[in-house]
Chain A
């Protein structure tokens, strides 16, 4: 397997990196959508994430990555019974970052009858799919706007419920599938359905870096990486480890981060001002701001965090006037200006 590009070595694209870090600290944030130009390192960043995340504990041999500290009684692999008998071993594995390849078929995504066992032994057994593999990790869909509609519907349903329910080929299987959905795409290839947009917690727009030094730095690092991946990775080892520690610390601190009444009020005002549909905007805004505070080592959520995360948390929730040429980002920026001053 090829080495991934080290996460901290990605030049610029701070908004995207910030969103991915937030999702790494708090998987409950509800997915990240990365939309933008070609050749801006979308896929590189997501693939780099896998190497960055601290490993997790799972029950050995459980295809559903059961957490040894909180085994579910209804795990189809029988972890529940094993827990009662006290016969379970656990091991550390890297957090799964599952890549949903284009052209994946439904049976591999949700899981299906294990054909081999059925044909050779006449047994009816369930073979878990990609959703099971992504449990407690990340599911990455490149070119999410080109995914076939029936697969998109299915993914949305599972991502929202945290559970994969399979009813096919005479089988009825239910297993947990909580994952952070990361979608990336290029708006020129096609737009995303509005229902799908709203399901993503954070939405990031990536653009080509527009200053020459940054661009030169990108090319230089990429070139260095391609010439000698192991050496480049080793050179960034310390930075990667530092970031990993930051994630671990932030996870531990997150429950203690306070949100004052003032912050709630500001978040609500912001959403009212922008006319977002529903309350998901406020909820995500507060939640992401808490994570940012935890990442920064702050004890309370302040205006600074709200301001920093508001574009990512809100821009895809605005009711869009199709003929308005000013993008949603501009509208969020304007609302922030109005509220917090320049």
Chain B
């Protein structure tokens, strides 16, 4: 991930250095987001870090789907029944006070769990208000978020990323690749003792803040974490105050992985910090490529310290970032925000408890033990004498009758995602693309009212492209629609295939997809990209039949100036509602979609 160490950095490879720093100050640094597949490399790294922890410091693993009552604490069922009074079972977080926690598969963590962990990291306390119990216990923790995500879309929830100092990427390491030689445990112990007294000059603080700012890091936590790490580095080196080199390494470790913009080369008039607000930065000043390639190049008049730290951080920025920023001007860290929104969806679309009611537990209803006990409690005195036949010891302490049983209902919201599949080919662009865009905008406003999500797929030239992954941000939808270019062939089959695949993915998340296909039906590019109208239409028909087989709710809007029978046949093949749009009648289109949406709801409930 990082290039060869800068001259200033200690000669420890990054994995070993991060392991040492996490072990040095697990609670202060928050911990590390460790991106690596499960395997020997990760195990070796974890073992290395474990060896560096102070003796007796426990490490605990948190499973992915941990329930709230185990995480935060709850009613201890067995003890409660035995004692006849409520007994609190401590949650894992409270038990783990002072521990380092390993979060398994952190990229799949729900936003709600992530925020609970974030609150604990912030306050060092776990506060419990559950199951009729109230408790507040210290829980000072460090986290190792084991991130097994494969792509940019799978990320540890942003609320956690913001609070953990380090990000370590081990994906490029072979199973035997050296991870570096960490400092001895004795040295680490000495550093740990010295850590509280390490001082940092104002100049260092200023430089770290400035570096974070120039890298487009909006949150104020990263510079604070970088400062802590710099103090840790100074303690490791046996210094009593933070040196420039320490700050540079800290910036490389903590700030560089979070960069959303490359530092703009400072102007000659140096002193005033001129950066515009971070969202504007990339479009305003396309970051000069040489800057990343050659950070040692020194603009003389600027404060040297800040430059040095910035250069150290910039050197560690992965080269891919530059391409990303250039590919998506105006949308910094677009991929990352996509990852965020998708985690939010995951959290929202699971069943939520929707209150309790009397009833028997079953498939859709789980026994709510506490409510059951509550219901039974007032009757205990009445019930005891009636059944007091046996010896007192064998008599159950609490008598629960069928009528006392309470169940929790879970409600699954039927979230609808409307997928717009837009034909942006030359033939369509010529006639109607602008009108289609207008119609879609109107539909978007509808989707907002229904709080649906929207996704936008366009096909033209050689294939289909997902312009907008499912999102609830209408502004983004509108923006990506506005930049939709037109021209090229009509790969209708590829468009339908891509839409079906997306719909399938949405369905797997437990949501309901609705397809809206806007095309003039003049397919002329077949699945493999070869031109030819006959083959292309045959492929389109096959793709349409697959949509029908998948049982997707579909609306086909014919945007051709003169509607042709083959397009109608295509609609029939995919069992779609067919709507010819001979005039630019966006209202009619909107009504048609509205009419097809309720059927989608019904399908979701069935």
Contact = CB atoms under 8 A, between A and B. Distances in A.
Interface of A: 1-2, 37-41, 43, 99-109, 112-116, 118-120, 122, 124, 127, 129-130, 142-143, 146, 148-150, 169-170, 186, 188-191, 208-212, 215-216, 218-220, 222-223, 227, 322-323, 325
A212 B210 contact: yes
Contact of B340 (A2, A118, A188, A216): A188
Contacts of B222: 39
B129 A115 contact: no
Contact of A118 (B353, B371, B378): B378
Interface string B210-228: 1011000011111110010
A105 B162 contact: no
Interface in B90-132: 111-112, 115-116, 119, 122-125, 127-132
B131 A107 contact: yes
A137 B86 CA distance: 29
Contact of B205 (A150, A169, A220): A220
A210 B348 CA distance: 32
Given A38-B219, A101-B116, A115-B373, 12 more contacts: A40-B219, A100-B129, A107-B371, A124-B378, A129-B129, A148-B353, A169-B375, A189-B340, A189-B344, A208-B218, A322-B474, A325-B475
B188 interface: no
Contact of A113 (B352, B377, B449): B377
A223 B200 CA distance: 10
A115 B373 CA distance: 8
DSSP majority for the B interface? Answer: helix
Interface in B187-244: 196, 200, 202, 205-206, 208-210, 212-213, 218-224, 227
Contacts of A2: 123-125
Contact of B348 (A99, A101, A190, A227): A190
A89 to B, nearest CB: 25
Nearest to B214: A212
Contacts of B344: 188-190
A37 B277 CA distance: 13
Contacts of A115: 85-86, 132, 370, 373-374, 377
B84 interface: yes
B13 to A, nearest CB: 29
Given A105-B130, A120-B85, A212 B209 contact: yes
Nearest to A143: B115
Contact of A39 (B125, B209, B221): B221
A170 B378 contact: yes
Interface residues of B, number: 76
Contacts of B603: none
Contacts of B273: 211-212
Interface stretch (B54-62, B416-424, B440-448, B515-523): B440-448
Nearest to A218: B220
B86 A119 contact: yes
B119 to A, nearest CB: 6
B599 interface: no
A150 B354 contact: yes
Contacts of A208: 218-220, 278
B133 interface: yes
Contacts of A148: 352-353
A72 B532 CA distance: 85
Nearest to B379: A122
Contacts of B125: 1-2
B380 A39 contact: no
B341 interface: yes
B508 interface: no
Contacts of A108: 129-134
A118 B220 CA distance: 49
B116 A220 contact: no
A234 B5 CA distance: 43
B474 A146 contact: no
A219 B162 contact: no
Top 9 closest pairs, chain A to chain B, by CB = A39-B219, A118-B377, A322-B448, A108-B129, A212-B273, A104-B129, A122-B381, A208-B218, A39-B221
29 contacts: A37-B218, A38-B158, A39-B162, A39-B218, A43-B122, A100-B129, A101-B72, A101-B119, A102-B116, A107-B132, A107-B371, A108-B130, A108-B132, A113-B377, A116-B85, A116-B86, A118-B378, A119-B373, A146-B115, A210-B277, A211-B273, A212-B206, A212-B213, A219-B205, A219-B209, A220-B202, A223-B205, A227-B196, A323-B444
Contacts of B213: 212, 215
B337 interface: yes
B439 interface: no
Contact of A105 (B131, B196, B219, B444): B131
Contacts of B378: 113, 118, 122, 124, 169-170
B398 interface: yes
Contacts of B380: 118-119, 122
A118 B370 CA distance: 12
A41 B218 CA distance: 13
B374 A169 contact: yes
Interface string B343-381: 010011000111100000000000000110111011011
Given A146-B112, A208-B219, A118 B374 contact: yes
Contacts of B71: 103
Contact of B445 (A142, A146, A169, A323): A323
A170 B358 CA distance: 13
Nearest to B475: A325
A107 B370 CA distance: 10
Contact of B132 (A43, A103, A127): A127
B478 interface: yes
